[in-house]
Structure 1
Amino acid sequence: MYSAEVQEHLDLLHDNLRCKPMSPAFTERFGVLKNVIDSRNYSPFPRTMSAPCYVSDLGVRKFLDPSVFYKSHIQIAELKRISESSLSNFVRESNIYHLKRVIDAVVLFFGDYDAVYKVICERKSDIVDANDYTLLIYCGTVAAACRDRGCLEYFDAAERVASNCTDSYAAAHRAAAFEIKRMEDPRSGLSRLASARDKYLNQDNSCRLLDEGLMYNLMALAYMKMGDFRVGESIEHSADRFICIENYGSKFDVDTLSRAGRYRSQVAINRAQLQVQENKPKEARATLFDNVKFARDYSYEYLPEALAEYSYVAYLDGQYLQALEVAEEAFWRLQQIGSLRAVRSIREILVACFYRLGLHDKAKRLAEILEVDPLGVKGICGF
């Protein structure tokens, strides 16, 4: 069995990392994969922000972080990477009911979208016929990340088999995101969103406001790509939906409130980015300052991202000491959860702040470790 080969590789990696510097997020990601390999254990492994589900991303992005995360630990352990063919075989041998957990774990730990994509192409008919909503979403997201228009078949199937309107909308939303973001076809994406709105967002249910907020946020991106003035209006419509959920919190379940907090924060970031494009850095800083306060009080798991965005805009506004202070807090929070792209971005902000403040030696030392320490284990000073 190929799961034994993956198991052996994991055990060797774990042993070779003992007493060596590694990401604080490694243990949780390792646990998720080990849990999946044990075919007798079908209970989900407890997860935090340190082990995100990349294959359910609403923006159907292809994340580089998990691949860099794995490669960095392989280098520290002085081992060879497991082959793509071995991972494909591991995914291939999974039964259809277990497949979604294997796909999730392989992308999380190894970041190998291609190994997974190869297998889902081979098993496409079985996957669609299984009528498993989560499996269809995962496969559609992987195919979309690999720029395969075949992802639309998975999303359309997920839309059909969904058990409620909000899940149907979520499938259609991902299909529209693929057209807007991956295919650079905003008009087709807007058309799909309009159809989904008419089908699923005209019913009074607890998630309607949440889905409308997501829809307007994606519409704003489409309008931005088209150079359409309605981008700002769409962002405001999106923000209004999430604020409405917060104001009437007692009417919504915990999951809806948590998701609303996350998406409200993302909309605030999008609004600030638009303000930066309009050369309004002070307004953007005020927007993100409020967002940091909101995240700290109501959406704590997304505080690292809120801090990172604020530090960047503070830097653009010439507030170098403030940007430095916030960036230092953001760095450690992001490093703890293994958010490597954000760790690099924060370090770049720190380098720029050090330089602007005349701390050239610090700036030089930190710049030198950007390429050699993607995990952030050397910290801010680079020792």
Structure 2
Amino acid sequence: MHEVDHPLRHLATSISRAPAGCHPALLDRAEIASLARSPVSRPSAAPNYISDLGLRRSPDPADFLTHALAGRHDIVSFAGAWQASVTAARAIIRSGRPATTCRLLTYLGSILSHDESSDAGALFLRAGVAPDAGEVDAAMAKIRFSAWSIKRRSDFDTGLTTLRAVRRDLTQAMLDRRVSDGDARVLEAITVNLEALVAVRRRELDSAGFLMDRAARAVEGSRVVMVGDSERRRYSAQIEVNRAQLLVGAGKYGAALNRLETVVAGERGGDSASLSEALALSGYVHYRCGGFQRASELLSEAESLIAREGAPSRLALVRKNLAAATALSGDDEGAGDVLRRIADDPIGSSLVAEAAA
């Protein structure tokens, strides 16, 4: 079916034209999803919005999830309307077609992890033993269970116990040649990075730094097979940003900036999500250090990237910092322009068009 005739695009158009009672962020996403798939009019990095609308409005959401998501569950956004997605997920679970695939179970777990009364962890564990789950899928399912235990339940002991079990399983799978050395190292890095998060939550900052260093060593330069090199690079960049955040928290701004500059240099032309996050944090650090002009430059670049990614909430945050930095650099007119973009162009359509021109 040609995109111009796609029913989900028509749905998005109808939502964007009938805003009464709609969640504001849903309107933003509907506007993006209604645009043609071209770099000029629609962010090329935002395929998730049609998936989002499709899940919540499709007459057969289980079928939609199984066949239409193409493995993009990790980036789907629900426009802040999580309760609507929870309702859809529970309807799928109660339907006569039980979820059995690794992808669908993972997706449902991701949705229900935002509902405090749910046992999303059980869905992640089921995903790991689903018939279509491979070794990497099984490990990632347990890692997601650990992340849910740590981040949503503050159950650090369960999370850490599971992460350590994942590392033992990966070691054995590697010895049995069921998973490559590179894949095992990347997955190990993810587990260690989560362990570092627990250390941060417990205010054990020296331990957190040690663990992040270990995670960085594990992921860097690994020759991956199943994980995918783009994913490996994304994990590596995220670990480096986390290390920089730890340095910022310790007041070590110079060291944080050095690390962020390395991330920015390595990610240019690559994974824009990691690049935009590094630019935004670097701009914030320069702002904290009184380097308002440099902060404004970095935050302006981050703004353009985040607009192309189609993330209105992140865009709003970086614009607030940009407006403040621009004003303090002495450019009142530029700060006013940023404030007008916040009010008049919340999804950054004008920036996307400018970048593509």
Q: Quickly name the TM-score band, shorter chain normalised.
A: 0.7 to 0.9
Q: Give a deviation string over 1:323-376, Cα, whole Å, max 9, x none.
A: 222222221121122122221222122222223222334435534653554223
Q: Give a deviation string over 1:253-280, Cα, whole Å, max 9, x none.
A: 4962111111111111110110011110
Inter-CA distance 131–16: structure 2 relative to 1 (3 Å threshold): closer
Residue equivalent to 2:177: none
Inter-CA distance 134–223: structure 2 relative to 1 (3 Å threshold): same
Of residues 185, 199, 202, the one that matches 1:209 is 185
Q: Does 1:138 align with 2:107?
A: yes
Q: Which amino acid in 1 is paired with 2:196?
A: A
Distance apart, 1:130 and its partner CA = 4.0
Q: Which amino acid in 2 is paired with 1:163?
A: A
**Residues paired across the two proteins, number:** 323
The more displaced of 174-183 and 200-209 is 200-209
Of residues 227, 251, 258, the one that matches 1:279 is 251
Q: Is the 8 A contact 1:173 1:193 kept in 2?
A: yes
Find the aligned partners of 1:226 and 1:283 in 2 and give their Cα distance: 23
Of residues 148, 158, 161, the one that matches 1:178 is 148
Residue equivalent to 2:163: 193
Inter-CA distance 15–122: structure 2 relative to 1 (3 Å threshold): closer
Residue equivalent to 1:153: 122
Residue equivalent to 2:45: 49
Inter-CA distance 188–203: structure 2 relative to 1 (3 Å threshold): same
Listed as ranges, the matches of 1:114-129 within 5 Å are: 114-124=83-93, 129=98
Inter-CA distance 24–331: structure 2 relative to 1 (3 Å threshold): farther
Inter-CA distance 341–241: structure 2 relative to 1 (3 Å threshold): same
Find the aligned partners of 1:127 and 1:194 in 2 and give their Cα distance: 37
Listed as ranges, the matches of 1:1-16 within 5 Å are: 9-13=11-15
Q: Which amino acid in 2 is paired with 1:241?
A: A
Structure 2: unaligned runs, 5 residues or longer: 1-5, 20-26, 38-42, 175-179, 352-357
Q: Which amino acid in 2 is paired with 1:322?
A: R
Q: Give a deviation string over 1:229-255, Cα, whole Å, max 9, x none.
A: 31111100111112132xxxxx43496
Distance apart, 1:54 and its partner CA = 11
Q: Is the 8 A contact 1:128 1:154 kept in 2?
A: no
Distance apart, 1:96 and its partner CA = 4.2
Find the aligned partners of 1:145 and 1:348 in 2 and give their Cα distance: 26
Find the aligned partners of 2:193 and 2:10 in 1 and give their Cα distance: 44
Distance apart, 1:141 and its partner CA = 0.4
Q: Give a deviation string over 1:35-62, Cα, whole Å, max 9, x none.
A: xxxxxxxxxxxx952224899xxxxxxx
Residue equivalent to 1:58: none
Q: Is the 8 A contact 2:287 2:295 kept in 1?
A: yes
Q: Give a deviation string over 1:129-165, Cα, whole Å, max 9, x none.
A: 4421000000000000223441111111111125322
Identical columns (%): 22
Distance apart, 1:172 and its partner CA = 1.0
Distance apart, 1:27 and its partner CA = 5.2
Find the aligned partners of 2:96 and 2:135 in 1 and give their Cα distance: 22
Q: Give a deviation string over 1:48-95, Cα, whole Å, max 9, x none.
A: 52224899xxxxxxxxxx8xxx9xxxxxxxxxxxxxxx976x45x417
Inter-CA distance 254–169: structure 2 relative to 1 (3 Å threshold): closer
Q: Is the 8 A contact 2:183 2:225 kept in 1?
A: no
Find the aligned partners of 1:293 and 1:235 in 2 and give their Cα distance: 20
Find the aligned partners of 2:48 and 2:55 in 1 and give their Cα distance: 20
Inter-CA distance 188–281: structure 2 relative to 1 (3 Å threshold): same
Structure 1: unaligned runs, 5 residues or longer: 33-46, 56-65, 71-85, 246-250
User: What TM-score does the superposition give when structure 2 sets the normalisation length?
Assistant: 0.76
Q: Give a deviation string over 1:173-195, Cα, whole Å, max 9, x none.
A: 11111111112222221122122
Residue equivalent to 2:199: 223
Inter-CA distance 127–259: structure 2 relative to 1 (3 Å threshold): farther
User: What TM-score does the superposition give when structure 1 sets the normalisation length?
Assistant: 0.72
Find the aligned partners of 2:185 and 2:303 in 1 and give their Cα distance: 33
Report which structure shows greater RCO (CA 8 Å, sep ≥6).
Answer: 1
Find the aligned partners of 2:248 and 2:77 in 1 and give their Cα distance: 33
Find the aligned partners of 2:50 and 2:191 in 1 and give their Cα distance: 20
User: SS of the counterpart of 1:307?
Assistant: helix
Inter-CA distance 120–27: structure 2 relative to 1 (3 Å threshold): closer
* CA-atom RMSD in angstroms: 3.8
Q: Is the 8 A contact 1:23 1:377 kept in 2?
A: no
Residue equivalent to 1:94: 60
Listed as ranges, the matches of 1:1-383 within 5 Å are: 9-13=11-15, 48-52=44-48, 90-91=57-58, 93-94=59-60, 96-101=62-67, 108=77, 112-124=81-93, 129-161=98-130, 163-204=133-174, 205=180, 206-228=182-204, 229-245=206-222, 251-253=223-225, 256-296=228-268, 298-299=270-271, 302-364=274-336, 366-367=338-339, 370=342, 373-377=345-349
